[in-house]
Structures are given as C-alpha cells and as structure tokens.
Chain A
Amino acid sequence: MIGAGVLWWLSAPDDITRPYAADVTPDIQAGALVFAAGGCASCHAAPEAKGDAKLHLAGGLAFDSDFGTFYAPNISSDAAAGIGTWTLEDFARAVTKGVSPQGRHYYPAFPYTAYARMTPQDVADLHAYMATLPADATPSKPHDVGFPFNIRRSVGLWKFMFSDTRDVLTDAQTPQIARGRYLVEGLSHCGECHTPRNALGALDRNAWLSGAANPSGKGRIPGITPAQLDWSEADLIEYLTSGFTPDYDSAGGKMADVVANLAQLPEADRAAIAAYLKALP
C-alpha cells in the first residue's frame, strides 16, 4: 500500500512556477524564430505539407516506436481541435513539463525534456506567435500504444527516472558555446534523434550525440561529435544553412526539414550550434 502510494506520488504531474513569466512582454516576431528553432512544424504540420501549409498545425504525423505509434496532435489556434484557448501557463506547463491543461502526462515523443530548458521569454514569444497561425479543425488522432504504456500515469515514473534537464556540456567556455548549448540541448532538441536511447526510450547522456538507431527502423542517425564528424565550423554552418555537406551531398529526410528551419535563424545561431558541436568532448 505504501509502495503504491509512493509510486502514485512519484508519478504525479509537475507544475510550473506560477505566475509564469510575469515580467515578460511577448514578442511575436521573436516567437517566429523560436518556432523555427524548436522545429514545431516539422512534427505538427499535416504529413507532406509544404510551404505555407506547414503553418497549419493540424497534426497527424505518425511516429513509430517500440512502444506503439504516436500521432502528433493538432496544436493549431483552433479553440476546439487545437490549443486556441490555452493560457500562457497552460502552454508553458505543456511545453516545459509535458503536462496537459487537464493535468495528464504527455508521452515523451513530444521533446519536453529538452524544451524544459527554454527561457520563459522564449516560451511566451512562442505562445504569442502560435496564436497568430491559422486555426485547423482536424481532430487529433489517438495514439496507438499498448499496455502498460497506455496508462498515462506510467509516464510520470518515466519522467521521474529519466527526465534530466541538466546541461550535458557542463563547461561552456564562451557565450557563443552557451547559446549553442541552449539550442542543441534544449530548444532545437538535436539529441532526440542523434543520441542513442536505452530500452525504455530514455536518452543515453553518456553517449551524447554519438548517433543512434533510426526510430523509423531503416538506417542510422549519424553521430555528430568531433570524433565522428570532422567538419570545420564553416562546414557545419554551410550545412545548416544550405543543406550541402563539404562534398556537396545534401541533407535529406527529416534533416532537410531541420535545415529549412535553422536556415531561418540569424547566422549567429548557426555559428553557435557549430561552436557547441566542436566544443563537445
């Protein structure tokens, strides 16, 4: 009985500090850049959407995993199907704690363990920007997940065991590297694909960015530490801008979306990502 009580307590949904971002003035234009850096549309736009259609966040994209199939939900500004009625507090709790306004855990296919590092300013800017995007009435598709992962409370235990929001690169020598760390480890959540996972789907921080199995089953996501990728900082910046590798191959698959997103950021941000990657052990 006590054991069950402890489990229940450990698995309880976290809350944010309230009031949230009380001294912050949301900036919609800055929010557009947060939206790009966070890669929101890459998962939440309707599958196969191109161009401006990527701003219709109807959801529906399927994510196969060992635990079942997750479907990205509708996060458009629609009041019923999307998140149009969410307050900034609702939004911040969802994005940084992985908890819905109703107090339910989200599955970590949603990279809130990375977004947990987002500054209140960035969260507020993003919230303000997303309110300006089109409403879409497409209902979210239920996840197709088997027992015991279909018990949402179990996600709380997963978070207790694996949600580690401390810096991986503990010693950022320059402000530029620190900015790169914020993007790579946090907002742009590079580790979600480039870092291997354990049997329960948690990131192996000891093998940070060293490459991983492709969740879709075919091939591998490459390692991007200096030991595995000998590109110069200029090579990295070029790749994150145009998608060209040093030998003029080009980014494809999901990474092509990532490049399209990162290309919208100021060059200083791409340079910060490059500096961070070169600073990894």
Chain B
Amino acid sequence: MTGFTKTILGTGLCAALIASAGFAASHSSVTNKAVAARHAQMQMIGYHTGVLGAIAKGEMEYDSAMVDAAATNLRELAKLDGTTMWVAGTEQGATDGSRAKAEIWSDAAGFAQKFTDLENAASAMIGAADAAAVGAAMGGIGGSCKGCHQDYRGPKS
C-alpha cells in the first residue's frame, strides 16, 4: 500500500470515526445496558457502511481488502444473536434513548427477516471488484437499513 493510499484511507476512516462519535454522543442519555449494546451494534453497522459508502463515492480509494473486511463485518454484525439486546420492555417510551417500536416484539419474525436482509446484502458486497461494483451493492445495504428503520424504528425523541 502506498503512503498516498494510506493517507486517503486514514482521512476517510477518521472522518467516519468522527461521524460515529457524533452518533454515539446522541445516545448519551441511554441508561439501559441492552439499549446501549444495540446502539453499539448499530454504530458498528453505520461505521462499516460508511467505509463502503466512501469507497462507492470516491472519497476513499478502492481497496479490495478493505471492501471485503467491511462487508464481512457487516454480515457478522447482522448475524448477532439479538436475544440479549432486544429485550422485551425496552421500546421507545419505556426506557430513555430507545427508538425501538413495539412491533419488534409483536412481529419478531418480520424483524428477524430485516437482519437476514442485511446479512444477504452484505454477503453480496463481498468481492465487489471496483468502486462501481461497491456502489451497485450499496443499494441492497441501504435498502435493508431503510426497510428495517421504516417499520421498526420510531422518530427521534
């Protein structure tokens, strides 16, 4: 890896990290540890999506190892067993900082399917051979984020 590439990657990663820090700070009022843990999961998902998005948009130079690592991590994050985190009684309004809708528990199968959608979209990203291919696969990842947030996440408090 050239020094120039490293600089580009480093700059992009720092930008993404700073953005993620903002995301974390916005959840500072969270007191329930299960809620904090799933926010951490979402932050990790957002971070890795950000790496892929930066490559798709040309803000970060294409690097196959970076793409595959980000996509693989996304896939694994989508596969986390949510039993420990999506604990009943932690919906929006019941505990500080939660935006989880009650449908997560009343429609558990539909909610689980959304994580499967992300897992599949992340798998489809692995091996994307250039920035254009990353961009094409971003649609699936974005669609799975949106699909879940539309049905299972409430508005900002």
Contacts and interface: CB of A to CB of B under 8 A. Distances in A.
Nearest to B50: A248
Interface residues of A, number: 23
Contact of A222 (B99, B149, B156): B156
Contact of A247 (B22, B92, B142): B22
A243 B92 contact: no
B55 to A, nearest CB: 12
Contact of A218 (B57, B145, B149, B155): B155
Interface string B139-157: 1001001101110011111
B47 A251 contact: no
A243 B155 CA distance: 15
Contacts of A165: none
A246 interface: yes
Contacts of A259: 146
B19 interface: yes
A66 to B, nearest CB: 17
B24 to A, nearest CB: 10
Contacts of A222: 156
Contacts of B150: 251-253, 256-257
A214 B156 CA distance: 9
Given A250-B142, A252-B146, A252-B153, A218 B92 contact: yes
A242 B138 contact: yes
Interface string A220-250: 1110000000000000001000111011111
A205 B69 CA distance: 49
A216 B101 CA distance: 13
B146 A219 contact: no
B46 interface: yes
A259 to B, nearest CB: 7
B46 A248 contact: yes
B29 to A, nearest CB: 13
A260 B147 CA distance: 11
A218 B103 CA distance: 15
B79 to A, nearest CB: 19
Contact of B53 (A214, A220, A248, A253): A248
A246 B146 contact: no
B22 A219 contact: no
Interface of B: 16, 19-20, 22-23, 42, 46-47, 49-50, 53, 57, 92-93, 99, 138-139, 142, 145-146, 148-150, 153-157
Interface of A: 214, 216, 218-222, 238, 242-244, 246-253, 256-257, 259-260
> Sorted from nearest, which 3 A-B pairs have the closest CB atoms?
A252-B149, A219-B155, A247-B19
9 contacts: A218-B154, A219-B157, A238-B57, A248-B47, A248-B49, A251-B149, A252-B153, A253-B149, A256-B149
